[in-house]
Amino acid sequence: MSALCSSLMRKLAAVIALSFVPALLAQNGLIVTVAGNGTTGTSGVGGPAVNAAMSAGGICVDRFDNFYIADRTNNRVLKVDRYNLLTLVAGNGTAASTGDLGPATRASVNGPFSVAMDTAGNLFILENTGNRVRRVDAATGIITTVAGNGVATWAGDGGPAVNGSINHPMGLARDLASNLYIADTGNNRVRRVDAVTGILTTVAGTGVNGHSPDGTPAASANLAAPTAVSFDWQGNLLISETLAYAIRRVSGATGLLSTVAGNGGTDFNGDGQPATSAALGILISNVAADAAGNLYFADGLGRVRRVDASGIITTVAGSGAGAHGMSSASAGGSGGGTSTYVCPSGLGDNGPATIATLDGSMSVALTSFGGLLISDILDCRVRGVILPSPLLYTNTVLSLAGQTLTAAVTPIAGGATPTGTVQFMEDVSFGPATPLASAPLNGGSATLDTSTLSAGSHSVMAIYMGDGVYNGSGSGPVNVTGGSRTTPSIGANVQYPALVSTPVTLSITVVGGRGQPTGSVQISEGATTLMTVSLINGSNAQYAYTSSIAGDHQITLQYSGDANYAPLTWTFTVTLLVPSTVTLTADTNPATVGANVTFIATVSPSA
């Protein structure tokens, strides 16, 4: 590359950087919207991308840092250039796979889900509904089909890819040799289209929906719904295995399968640990790799995560408070640009990326100048973060002891204790997260008394807001019961019959909706305290009651209460019976045949 070209590229990169972030907010680590106004219509082509309507979908970046968006529900592909202008590159809005050998902008594309770019600038479009991959020529703008015959099945390995069948594919990637790789989701396989011959082959997956262990050859491994494919800088294939909640690597040298991230869990369990120990949720995102060996992807838990070269996982965007869902403004179809859904606002824009709300992140891409692009299908936006952040990252863990929630914030790197505040939020599946209370950090932790919350059940998460040294971070949710201490239920089982002067077992049970009660139960008869027993196994206690007096005895149980449960008193009756005997005698024994015999039953005691 000439010095002139190098200088031009540097200037272009600078212009692009400023187009992604307003000049006054162009600090690293902040998140902004770079495309999409939060509605899923089709307006705005030819104008600023941030003012346009779109549904968003898979994204990719070309060598000039223009980025492309698979506007899936509108059946088109959009381009955002270095001036932030939005243009149409493929799709007329009709859900079909027509128009080959003509201009891509006049052709129909059917459910575009992912996009990829080769080194020559040719754009590849994966049609999830059309079961095809289309190619838009960089020089002519002509669209052609390069893989898939439109039939949703598995067929065609070893033959031309255009004659083969793929089944509702979701992911698309290109290797350094411009070979195409397709996440053939419905077939639980990854397929390859040779760049030279156009021949279709399977490189991973047997077609069985399953999860094979590490060390299995990829060609003979089961895959649990592969939804995205990517490559790292060493040329290894990365597969987002959605129903295994993991990202897998196929070694370019050995062809063996290994796990890059994900422990198979669906509930967020923290950052700053090996990525293979982290829970990712149901992820469908591709993976973007930088030259330093860091891997970026959107998990299924409202975050974008980074796995560094040492294998440690960190959240670089998203607090975990999403998803918040979409509210329908009016009826509308999903194709042809007729949808009028209103997406949630871009909560957190122009602020630290780690405390922003990401609702449906499904695709990521990296620019040449360190920009991370995040496509959010629920927020109907593409958002941008300039990396690296100048602040260090943190991990927030929320725990419950009695009625006290404690948010502990620890640095992932750095020795200073984090300061600032923690915002406790009501975490919901859909709808905006609701602030509950905020509390200052003291020694790296902040607390919330759940009795201050409204009565009833709450799912609470904690978001550390960050300080001048550390980025903020969010915890996973914890289920609690709000309001003052609740009243438990108490009861006792008494064996029957119960006899005087014989120990009778009182089996006492205390139960409630806030987990296992603790504390003790005082047992009294009238004004006399018999014994105080501690609850064991969370709710049970036993007492052997004895009395030499027959009749009804009023027994009172007084539960002491604990942090979750209020004290409670209950009285019941134990009836003690006197043991009795019955003897039977005859007035004549032996008796003569035909004579009367009188039998006498004697009950003792006579009372």
Residue-wise pLDDT tens digits, 486-511: 888 999 999 888 899 999 999 999 99
Range from 159-173, 357-371, 408-422, 534-548 carrying the lowest mean pLDDT: 534-548
Residue 408: is its pLDDT beyond 90? Answer: yes
Kindly tell me the number of DSSP H helices and DSSP E strands found in the chain: 1, 43
Would you say 541 and 535 are in contact if contact means Cβ atoms under 8 Å apart? yes
Model pLDDT for residues 234-279, shown as the tens digit of each residue: 999 999 999 999 999 999 999 999 999 999 999 999 999 999 999 9
Provide the pLDDT for residue 170: 98
Mean confidence (pLDDT) of the chain: 89
Question: At 106, phi and psi to the nearest 5?
Answer: -100, -10
Kind and range of the H or E element at 305? strand 304-307
- pLDDT surpasses 60 at 104: yes
Q: Tell me what pLDDT residue 584 has.
A: 93
Q: Is the pLDDT of residue 21 over 90?
A: no
Q: With contact defined as beta carbons under 8 Å apart, do 564 and 555 qualify? A: no
CB 557, CB 569: distance < 8 Å = yes
119 pLDDT above the threshold of 80: yes
DSSP track, 391-446: SBPEEEEEEEETTEEEEEEEESS-SSPP-SEEEEEE--SSS--EEEEEEE-BTTEE
Query: What digits encode the pLDDT tens for the residues 449-465?
Result: 998 888 888 999 999 99
**Range of weakest confidence among 3-17, 140-154, 199-213, 571-585:** 3-17
Q: What percentage of the chain reaches a pLDDT higher than 90? A: 75
Beta-bridge mates of residue 542: 507
Please give the single-letter amino acid code of residue 397.
V
CB 488 within 8 A of CB 559: yes
Distances (CA, A) of 483 to 455, 462, 514: 4, 19, 11
Whole-angstrom distance, CA of residue 571 vs CA of residue 499: 20
- Average pLDDT on 318-342 reads 51
With cut-offs at 50, 70 and 90, classify the pLDDT of residue 155: very high
3-state class (DSSP) for residue 6: helix
Residue 399 pLDDT exceeds 70: yes
Task: Show Cβ contacts of residue 485 under 8 Å, excluding neighbours closer than 6 positions.
Answer: 403, 451, 561, 563, 564, 565, 566
Q: Check residue 334 and give its pLDDT.
A: 34
At 176-201, the pLDDT tens digits run 999 999 999 999 999 999 999 999 99
Amino acid 326: pLDDT? 42
Q: Which two tokens stand for residue 505?
A: 């077992």
Whole-number pLDDT of residue 431: 60
Confidence of residue 513 (pLDDT cuts 50, 70, 90): confident
Residues in the chain: 607
Separation between Cα atoms, residue 51 and residue 86, nearest integer Å: 9
Residues 421 and 437 sit within 8 Å (Cβ to Cβ): no
Q: Is the pLDDT of residue 171 over 50?
A: yes
Residue 487, pLDDT score: 85
> What's residue 346's pLDDT?
58
Q: Give the model's pLDDT for residue 169.
A: 98
In our burial notation (b when 16+ CB lie closer than 10 A, e otherwise), range 514-535 reads bbebbbbbebbeeeeebeebeb
Arithmetic mean of pLDDT, 314-337 = 59
Task: Give the pLDDT score at 444.
Answer: 97
Query: Hunting for tokens 């799912």 — which residue is that?
Result: 459
Instruction: Provide mean pLDDT across the span 315-344.
Output: 56
99 or 496, higher pLDDT: 99
**DSSP label at residue 475:** P
